[in-house]
Amino acid sequence: MNVTEPVQTSAAGTFPPYPWVWLTVTALVVALDWYSKQWVSTALELYRPQEVFSWLNITLAHNYGAAFSFLSSAGGWQRWFFIILSSVVSLVLLIWLLRLPRNEWLTGLGLALVLGGAIGNLVDRVQLGYVVDFVDVHYSGWHFPAFNVADSAITCGVILLLLDAFIMSRKARQSS
């Protein structure tokens, strides 16, 4: 069987889906991220936590840096650096996603999630100059850095890509 041929699941259709399905997943992540950030930005005061559970707060925060607030106090140049970097990474991920063989569904889902998250945070950087974060997980006075829906999608997407790489590497070892 050719790697690019679809896997038949029934007479009614094929699986895995066409690239437009992955683009729909990407768009849903971007939309959910945008709506959640709009909601917390209008409903909460900056840096005023609202307890959800004893270990979870919703806290509006502005992140001028990257993951874990890396370079957040760098003086402003980091905004443009992260906009350019995010744009290039998003373009590469989009091209990869569009060229992906249809039978690589786990890779497609992982890429769609990472792309959606990257675009979600890119929109913030372009419009606001910072990324809106609001999920605050904490325990015994220790707080994990605040994050958002886009960050969660990126994390889940990377986990799926690593899982896919692990599965593919096992298959390659078993077949040789």
* 124 is known as an active-site residue: no
- Which residues, 6+ apart, have CB-to-CB distance to 63 below 8 Å? 69, 72, 130, 131, 132, 133, 146
Token readout for 147 is 């994050």
Cβ atoms of 142 and 53 within 8 Å: the answer is no
Three-state helix/strand/coil letters over 81-134? HHHHHHHHHHHHHHHHHHHCCCCCHHHHHHHHHHHHHHHHHHHHHHHHCCEEEE
User: Of the residues 33, 133, 136, 164, which is catalytic?
Assistant: 133
Q: Indicate the SS3 state at residue 77.
A: helix
Q: Indicate the SS3 state at residue 130.
A: coil
User: Of the residues 33, 124, 136, 151, which is catalytic?
Assistant: 151
* 151 is known as an active-site residue: yes
**How many CB atoms sit inside 10 A of residue 166's CB?**
10
Token readout for 99 is 């060229």
Catalytic residues: 133, 151
